[in-house]
Amino acid sequence: MPLIDVADLTKVFRVVVRQSGRFSALRTFLSREYRDVCAVDHVSFAIEAGEMVGYLGPNGAGKSTTLKMLTGILAPTSGHLSIDGREPQRQRIEHARRIGVVFGQRTQLWWDLPVIESFELLRYIYRIPLERWKANLSTFDDLLDLGAFLNTPVRQISLGQRMRAELAAALLHDPAILFLDEPTIGLDVIARERIRQFLERINHECGVTIILTTHDLNDIQRLCRRVILIDHGRVIYDGALETLRERFGRWRILIVDLERDDALDDTLEAPGAEVIERYGTRFRLRFDRSATTAAALIAYLSSRYPIRDLAIEEPEIESVIRRIYEAPEVARLHA
Ligand SMILES: Nc1ncnc2c1ncn2[C@@H]1O[C@H](COP(=O)(O)OP(=O)(O)OP(=O)(O)O)[C@@H](O)[C@H]1O
């Protein structure tokens, strides 16, 4: 049985329809018309122990709502949810002992207390044996360099330091699963990298299963072999990041530098490719790799134009994903 087993998970929010026009607030209050918003719509997936999975989607896709159900904060409207053999909402306390949670936008630390005191409170809350707590703290200190700000109140530390403290706080009680919602949001490049290295280690070396949502696709490229994409509350892709690239990354970019542009009347002609940008003698051509090959294109171009240099670009995963969401066939990809 998978560690996390989700079948037809659905969450419907009932929201009040706001009236517009004069006295709208009063009319909204009196009429109480409701509308249902299906934030998570029959989502199913299974995650094995030790996996690190990226849970992606555009704004409002239903990522946070799914995570809230997985962590036991929200009750599902319908569907089946089992984590480590438990139902998160119904067995909240036992469930909380097995999971760690970091919501990048919120803190689980006590704002006015020095960081170390939050860690001590967590020791009592989770009843972590003292020796275990000390050992974990020392490991996290090595990996996250917490020493410099352990005695500083949370409100005075930087965002990067806070995220490091949040991660340590979420893991002090040795959870089997870590849920992360935007763990690198707002951080600079160095701070992001440090968090990524840490997540890699606790996944590889400690076997912690990790599910993370992020808007930073570098996080995903670096950390997750598997991604689940959701849109309008529904899973539209679940599989390897590489396959996602293959399946959606049809386009390639060929950059062509000509010796001089006097050989050209107007634009570069290349069957199966289109010029998408031009700066003087440099052209960016886009081609569909299912329609032609880079070799054929290069052979054609070099027989006609004085070429100085050529380069092929892989499409960025960002643009791959953007295209997924723009594609009309998205609904048909429902996996
Ligand atoms: N408590 C709530 N009451 C009513 N509607 C809600 C509530 N929480 C979320 N929604 C709606 O459910 C949908 C999914 O929201 P959710 O926050 O899960 O998306 P998300 O993928 O996490 O988005 P983002 O990336 O912007 O955080 C949205 O339409 C949102 O407006």
Ligand 1, closest atom to CA 230? 21
Give me the mean pLDDT over the 144-159 stretch: 92
* Ligand 1 binding pocket includes 36 (Cβ within 6 Å): no
Give ranges for CATH 3.40.50.300 in the chain.
49-246
Q: Hey, whose CA ends up nearest to atom 2 of ligand 1?
A: 13
Nearest to 297 by CA among 332, 271, 335, 267: 271
Give ranges for CATH 3.30.70 in the chain.
250-314
Give me the mean pLDDT over the 7-17 stretch: 91
Give me the mean pLDDT over the 84-97 stretch: 91
Give me the mean pLDDT over the 255-275 stretch: 81
pLDDT at 5 over 80: yes
Give me the mean pLDDT over the 67-79 stretch: 95
Using DSSP, state whether 48 is helix, strand or coil.
coil
Q: Dump pLDDT digits (tens) for 303-317.
A: 988 899 999 887 666
Write the single-letter amino acid at 70: L
pLDDT band, residue 176 (cuts 50/70/90):
very high
Q: Dump pLDDT digits (tens) for 276-313.
A: 888 888 998 988 888 889 999 999 999 988 899 999 88
Give me the mean pLDDT over the 193-215 stretch: 92
pLDDT of residue 207: 94
Which one of 11, 43, 64, 77 would you pick to mutate in the ligand 1 pocket, going by the greatest count of ligand atoms within 8 A of its CB? 64
Task: Give ipTM to 2 decimals.
Answer: 0.96
- The per-residue pLDDT of the chain, averaged, comes to 87
Give me the mean pLDDT over the 99-126 stretch: 91
Q: Distance between CA 323 and CA 286 in Å, rounded?
A: 14
Write the single-letter amino acid at 119: F
Q: Distance between CA 153 and CA 262 in Å, rounded?
A: 67
Q: Hey, whose CA ends up nearest to atom 11 of ligand 1?
A: 39
Ligand 1, closest atom to CA 66? 18
pLDDT at 114 over 50: yes
pLDDT band, residue 243 (cuts 50/70/90):
confident
Fold of 250-314: Alpha-Beta Plaits (3.30.70)
DSSP 63-131: HHHHHHHHHTSS--SEEEEEETTB-TTTTHHHHHHHEEEEETTS--S-TTSBHHHHHHHHHHHTT--HH
pLDDT of residue 332: 45
pLDDT band, residue 260 (cuts 50/70/90):
confident
pLDDT band, residue 68 (cuts 50/70/90):
very high
pLDDT band, residue 217 (cuts 50/70/90):
confident
pLDDT of residue 34: 83
The second-level CATH assignment, the architecture, of 49-246 is 3-Layer(aba) Sandwich (3.40)
Which one of 13, 69, 73 would you pick to mutate in the ligand 1 pocket, going by the greatest count of ligand atoms within 8 A of its CB? 13
* Ligand 1 binding pocket includes 203 (Cβ within 6 Å): no
pLDDT of residue 85: 92
Which one of 36, 37, 213, 217 would you pick to mutate in the ligand 1 pocket, going by the greatest count of ligand atoms within 8 A of its CB? 37
pLDDT at 151 over 70: yes
